[in-house]
């Protein structure tokens, strides 16, 4: 049974995605809180861009982790 200090993979994923979104917005000169003060169309556009960027970054990280795991498994077998 996991203890109360354990963190699920979904929680880690959500944290990483939020962090990437915040970094993306910072690069555009905004914070998450700034979005509420923007016109709705601009806010939605930035949210969509940031979410797409975060998803692609996470997918790339997952692919890299998979490749490293596969290389490790191949090394262990030899």
**Model confidence pLDDT, tens digit, residues 7-64:** 898 999 999 999 999 999 999 999 999 999 999 999 999 999 999 999 999 999 999 9
pLDDT score for 76: 87
Query: What is the Cα–Cα distance from 72 to 35, expressed in whole angstroms?
Result: 43
pLDDT score for 35: 96
Please report the DSSP string for the chain in residue order: ---TT---HHHHHHHHHHHHHHHHHHHTT--TGGGGGS-HHHHHHHHHHHHHHHHHHHHHHHHHHHHHHHHHHHHHH-
Structure tokens at 45: 């556009």
- Angle made by CA atoms 22, 61, 76, in degrees to the nearest 5: 150
pLDDT score for 1: 42
pLDDT, greater one: 50 or 6: 50
């Amino acid at each position: 049974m996991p203890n109360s200090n354990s963190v699920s993979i979904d929680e880690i994923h959500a944290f990483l995605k939020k962090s990437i979104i915040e970094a993306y917005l910072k690069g555009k000169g905004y914070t998450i809180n700034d979005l509420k003060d923007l016109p709705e169309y601009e806010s939605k556009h930035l949210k969509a861009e940031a979410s797409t960027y975060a998803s692609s970054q996470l997918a790339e990280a997952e692919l890299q982790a998979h490749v490293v795991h596969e290389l490790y498994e191949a090394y262990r077998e030899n």
